Structure 1
């Protein structure tokens, strides 16, 4: 894959109804995007209405939600022409990385491209270079799926521009991404409050002391439950609990900000490794139609080391 020279964030407004509508019928009626040049940090903008194949008047609900009127679409180009202009504005798919806030925008692009007989090879090139940034942000920072406005709020930022204008939605998603990309310490501090702590200490040393304490407390409770596990159906509950613990602490292992001590990183790695070993052991027992699950002693030695460590 060619070196990435620019980020392209895009967003669709779609046909909608308060009475419900199949996603396949929710044609894109406005495409907005921003292009961020990585070297120069210059931002370029794209905003086009799209005339839908379905010519019925927009529902009142759709007008109020999207701020799009029927008159905006009368003289608009069809999807194929808008998409060709979009590609020309991008200036090179291979040098771009594409983002949106949830996969619904990529799904819309794929469906409308297919409907208008746009070559699948072009769409696949975009899909190959696509990232669902909402999913990344949820996993690494916010824990829950947030709106663009609420995600900005985590960084103390306010939404810029007109809401439900896809160009501004794309622009504000870029702002979240740049905050995430460049503000690694701030992002990890937000993550700690979303995933682990109620309040964040001011000193790095205290953060790591509290983190060790939380890990230890969670592990002590978990090991007590683990010692009571014998039946396969009990193992399913333990596996789910282990997965939740991994999701809670795995960002410590990634340590994007270098905020976390090597000791805490090491112990989270032990937890993640145990989760993988537990899944493997469960699948092996399942293949042999076992009713009882017995763990190898070596599997829990590392967890015992963590639960007994000073803190």
Structure 2
């Protein structure tokens, strides 16, 4: 099983604070590239609960969406339960994939902030696998879609839309 995760986090034009996850998006696919399910949730940050204008403009996530969201421990527990129920296997058997290492590192930071055990054993940076396979420098998600001849669908820097586009590249590249 492959769990393609994309995260959005608090951000500023001139980074000054530690980031926190504000949106989780994920697509679960099996080894035959069948999409088993999708997940999306906003997350209310605790250290910096007010989004910067830069962050709202970049992600199109509103302050109201964040204000109405649950905090990371609640969202993450629901997320892990969704993964286990949808995959019908142990979390350790799932390969966490993302476009680069940022999502893994941010997820670890948020787990540490809230004293939650990071559950994944295996992670793959599809951004770096894509670059290596094509013998190019790592590129952003939109550029990778362009290289593959895939139309980017949805809103860039929205977690589920980005995860869906990563899945399209994953399937087109026939990664195993």
TM-score normalised over the length of structure 1? 0.52
CA distance in 2, matches of 1:31, 1:43: 17
Which structure shows the bigger proportion of residues in strand conformation?
A: 2
Q: Which residue of 1 aligns with 2:116?
A: 118
Take 1:42 and 1:105, find their aligned partners in 2: how far apart are those partners? 21
1:106 maps to: 104
Higher helix share: 1
Work out the CA distance in 1 between the residues paired with 2:174 and 2:33: 16
CA distance in 2, matches of 1:31, 1:40: 21
CA separation in 2, counterparts of 1:40 and 1:19?
39
Rg larger in structure: 1
Q: What does the per-residue CA deviation read over 1:10-56, in whole Å, with 9 as the maximum and x for residues that have no partner?
A: 0111111112234xx11011111111123571341110000101244
Distance 1:30 1:76 in 2: 9
**CA offset digits 1:50-94 (Å, max 9, x no partner):** 010124421111110011111111121110111111111111313
What CA distance in whole angstroms lies between the structure 1 residues aligned with 2:99 and 2:135?
Answer: 13
Aligned residue number for residue 271 of structure 1:
none
Q: CA RMSD in A?
A: 1.6
- In the TM superposition, structure 1's runs of 4+ consecutive aligned residues that sit over 3 Å from their partners are none
- The answer (yes or no) to whether the contact 1:142–1:151 under 8 Å persists in 2 is no
Instruction: Please list the CA deviations of residues 90-149 of structure 1 after superposition, one character each: whole Å capped at 9, or x if unmatched.
Output: 113133111000111000000000110102xxx2x41x2111111111111151121111
Of residues 9, 17, 41, the one that matches 1:14 is 9
Q: Which has the higher relative contact order, 1 or 2, with Cα contacts under 8 A spaced 6 or more apart?
A: 2
SS of the residue aligned with 2:13?
coil
